[in-house]
Amino acid sequence: MTMQLQLIPPQYTVQSPEMLEAYRKRGGYSALEQVLGRNDRKWMLDEVKRSGLSGRGGAGFSAAMKWSFMPAEPSGPSYLCVNADESEPGTFKDRHLMERVPHLVLEGIILAAWAMRAERAFILLRYEYPNCRRILQQAIDEAREAGLLGQGLMGTDWSLEVVIRLGAGTYISGEEMALLETVEGNRAWPRQKPPFPAQRGVFGRPTTVNNVETLACVPLVIAAGVDEFAAMGSGKSTGPKLYCVSGHVKRPGLYEAPMTVTLKELIYDPRFGGGIRGDRVLKAVIPGGSSAPVLRPDEIDVPANFESLAKIGSMLGSAAIIVMDETVCMVRAAQNTAHFFDHETCGECTPCREGCHWMRQILDRIENGRGMEGDIDLMSDRLAAIEGQTICPFGEAVTWGLGSIVEKFRDEFQEHIRLGRCKYEAWQPAKEQMA
């Protein structure tokens, strides 16, 4: 049975998710049947490689490549960690996947685990996603009942357990080396690389960390056809993609599209964001979460994919597209982001911990009208002191995310300092709808 090349059929909602019977009707678990029937791991890795599937967690790293680092003849258990910690500002795609099509995620987990000879998959789920937890657990229970999980699943001599483990309210747990610590029940201070997770991961065993959406693509690679998957999109940006559009568009929401779609279309096309609310003028777009450098309106006519955004000095990241219209004060946007980083830095490296704190203080005073001559250069210095000096990429995220706002909207920072105040209005909640 072939599947359509689609991650989330729109009829499924958190109130009425796609459970086992419905999932089977769209070809669900036929990929697993096919893969276990062939019983050829090299074939499966080749297929995933040929599909061009790139990681959806932020870095866009080849899934097949990552899996191939796992030992082919492990001398003990290997593990898969499913990164469901989704905490990048503006990101909600993994929540939609887990709430609406839990079995697609689960089949992806089983397939990936099989390819890597993993015997246990830890789903590291953020605490703030209780609906995901409930629905995923129902799907796991259904799958177990149907013989798709557990000892000797589907008549093989392989066994897989899928367990849900909790993140507990910290952004850094989503960074893969910190995620390993969280799964082990330690404070989430990222480990130094090397050793890489495939060498020494959870409890010292070979481990691979993959994002929820990456794994959800795997059944489609096999059951919708590897050629079809590779043909959708371009370059290393293949297959269907979920975009999280938030901020000042008429229709904020989750949109699925091939990675040939442009940022401009995602913001203005009636099928997606539908344009700027109140037909105001666009001011800025963050294309991939808070770590992605901000773009100006003249930069958005580019495909929203890994290569095109990298080429213009930004990144697809978590595909969280935060849209800001002309009413937005960019100093305040930077201030808000600095508060996020200062709150979420794990504090393990001095340049990151102190740099975040400095940025917060400087931005607070500029926004509050107490900015000083030289503050802009001071920020650039502080940010430069972080880049390349930290254990995990959070440091670079701070540098790139905040640095780009300061650089591209320098005038606004200067104006705040010159005027000694912010001339923009406060951000207010929407007025009540009149009945």
Partner 1 sequence: MKLSEQTSQRIDALLAQAVRPREVLLVALELAQKECNYISPELAASLAERFGMTQADMEDVLTFYTVLHRAPVGRHVIRVCGTLPCAMAGSDGLVEHLSRELGVEPGGTTSDGLFTLHQVECLGLCEQAPAMLVDDQPYGKLTLQRVSEILQDYRRRSS
Ligand X SMILES: Cc1cc2nc3c(=O)[nH]c(=O)nc-3n(C[C@H](O)[C@H](O)[C@H](O)COP(=O)(O)O)c2cc1C
For binding to ligand X (CB under 6 A), which residues are involved? 55-59, 61, 66, 83, 85-88, 172, 174-176, 209-211, 214, 392-394, 397
Pick between residue 158 and residue 189 the one whose CB is nearest to ligand SF4: 189
Interface pick for partner 1 out of 143, 295, 333, 349 (rule CB under 8 A): 333
Are β-strands 253-258 and 240-247 bridged in parallel, bridged antiparallel, or unpaired?
antiparallel
CB 83 within 8 A of CB 211: yes
- Is the separation of the CB atoms in 302 and 309 below 8 Å? yes
Q: Can you give the length of the chain in residues? A: 435
305 near partner 1, rule: CB under 8 A: no
The one of ligand X, partner 1, ligand SF4, none whose footprint includes residue 353, by CB under 5 to 8 A per kind, is: ligand SF4
Binding residues for ligand SF4, per CB under 6 A?
Answer: 172, 190, 345-349, 352-353, 390-392, 394-395
Torsion of CA 192, 195, 201, 203, to 10 degrees: -90
DSSP state of 315: -
Alpha carbon separation from 178 to 81, 132, 349 (Å, rounded): 12, 22, 13
- By a kind-dependent CB cut-off of 5 to 8 A, residue 167 interacts, out of ligand X, partner 1, ligand SF4, none, with partner 1
Per-residue binder mask for partner 1 (CB under 8 A), 284-303, x = binder: --x---x-------------
- Compute φ and ψ for 288, nearest 5 degrees: -150, 45
Instruction: Decide whether 230 or 384 has the Cβ nearer to ligand SF4.
Output: 384
Helices of type H across 303-369: 306-311, 330-344, 350-367
Query: Which residue's CB is nearer to partner 1, number 134 or number 365?
Result: 134
CB of 164 to ligand X, least distance (A): 15
Contact status: 383 vs partner 1 (CB under 8 A): no
CB closer to ligand SF4 out of 315 and 346: 346
- The piece of 139-147, 152-160, 340-348, 379-387 that touches partner 1 (CB under 8 A) is 340-348
Residues 6+ apart with CB under 8 A from 400: 291, 292, 293
User: Comparing C-alpha atoms, which of 344, 330, 342, 341 is closest to residue 404?
Assistant: 330
Residue with Cβ nearer partner 1 (238 or 335): 335
* Chosen from partner 1, ligand X, ligand SF4, none, partner binding at 196 (C-beta under 5 to 8 Å by type): none
User: Which whole-number Å values give the CA distances from 167 to 120, 127, 182, in the listed order?
Assistant: 18, 6, 7
**Residue 195, amino acid:** P
Dihedral (CA of 133, 137, 140, 146) sign: negative
Query: Coil, strand or helix: which one is 161?
Result: strand
The residue range among 122-130, 358-366, 369-377, 388-396 that interacts with partner 1, by the rule CB under 8 A, is 122-130
Rounded Cα gap, residues 400 and 313, in angstroms: 10
The pair of three-digit structure tokens given for residue 81, joined into one six-digit string: 């960690």
* Residue closer to partner 1 (CB basis): 169 or 388: 169
Residues that contact partner 1, how many (by CB under 8 A): 65
Binding to partner 1 by residue 274, rule CB under 8 A?
A: no
- Looking at the Cβ atoms of 128 and 396, the one nearer to partner 1 is 128
Among ligand X, partner 1, ligand SF4, none, partner that 352 touches (CB below 5 to 8 angstroms by kind): ligand SF4
DSSP 275-304: SBGGG--EEEEESSSTTSPPB-GGG--SBS
User: 10 Å Cβ neighbour count for 231?
Assistant: 15
38 C-beta neighbours (distance < 10 Å), count: 12
The reply on whether position 203 binds partner 1 by CB under 8 A is: yes
Sheet with 120-125, edge to edge strand ranges:
161-166, 120-125, 79-84, 207-211
**163 or 310: whose CB is closer to partner 1?**
163
Contacting residue, 58, 102, 167, 403, with partner 1 by CB under 8 A: 167
Tokens linked to 223: 């059951």
Report, in Å, the least distance between residue 398 CB and ligand SF4.
8
Looking at the Cβ atoms of 282 and 322, the one nearer to ligand X is 322
On whether the CB atoms of residues 354 and 371 are closer than 8 A, the answer is no
The CB-nearest residue to ligand SF4 is 352
Judged by CB under 8 A, the residue of 51, 78, 83, 87 near partner 1 is: 87
By CB under 8 A, the residues from 145 to 164 that bind partner 1 are 161, 163-164
Residues engaged in binding partner 1 (CB under 8 A):
77, 86-92, 94-95, 120, 122, 126-131, 161, 163-171, 182-188, 203, 244-248, 252-254, 286, 290, 320, 322, 324, 328, 333, 336-337, 339-340, 343-344, 426-433
